[in-house]
Amino acid sequence: MLDAKISVAVIKRLPKYYRYLELIGDKGIIRVSSQELSKITGLTASQIRQDLNHFGAFGQQGYGYNVEELKIELEKIMGVDKPYNVVIIGFGNIGSALLNYSGFKKKGFKVVGIFDNSPEIIGNKANDVVIKDVSELEEVVTREKVDIAILAIPAIPAQEITDKLVACGIKGIWNFAPIDLKLPRNVVLENVHLDGSLLTLTYYMNSLKDYPGVR
């Protein structure tokens, strides 16, 4: 990276660029200009060039960007050019849906453990992974060298389980639990608070003047 620190806004736009590059690549398009990306992403061509320039010079004037090459560069930048071992904690509706998300395998995320505290499902298999009692979490995380934990559990046990994960050396937590977790600086947290997202939607529906539109 050329800059010492990249803004959150730029980082949040990288997956969007990647998603559209995948779409146009699937259509057989070999190269694309920032103006063409602007039309399909809703962002200005200048913004796109500025964002990508934070990480290097990928395009050529008069030629644009090679779609496949830029996609590969974004994979490196976002860290999805390597595999990750993942565990899912909580196998209710959210946990089950995440396990069946096709993007996991495609992007190199391997689910090596599923955990729950419900006797009715412990011991069952889901996508060839045995659902284990949450009491076995630390053993599996340590043995499998797990990188990422997905929390799809209620708020009450979330911090306690998080503390155990941190002690086992977890590197990142994708949190669907409705709680703000306390973590050391070296463990990355990404919150997905579904109720907060829904309430943001209804706010903008009732206060359209504040809606920023396409981001």
Annotated binding-site ranges for NAD(+): 90-95
Please give the Cα distance from 116 to 90 (Å, whole number): 5
Annotated binding-site residue numbers: 90-95
Instruction: Check: CB of residue 113 under 8 Å from CB of residue 87.
Output: yes
Helix H segments across the chain? 8-26, 34-41, 45-53, 67-78, 93-99, 103-106, 137-143, 155-167, 194-206
Alpha-carbon distances, residue 69 vs 6, 113, 159 (angstroms): 22, 34, 41
Instruction: Check: CB of residue 69 under 8 Å from CB of residue 41.
Output: no
Count H helices and E strands in the chain, helices first: 9, 9
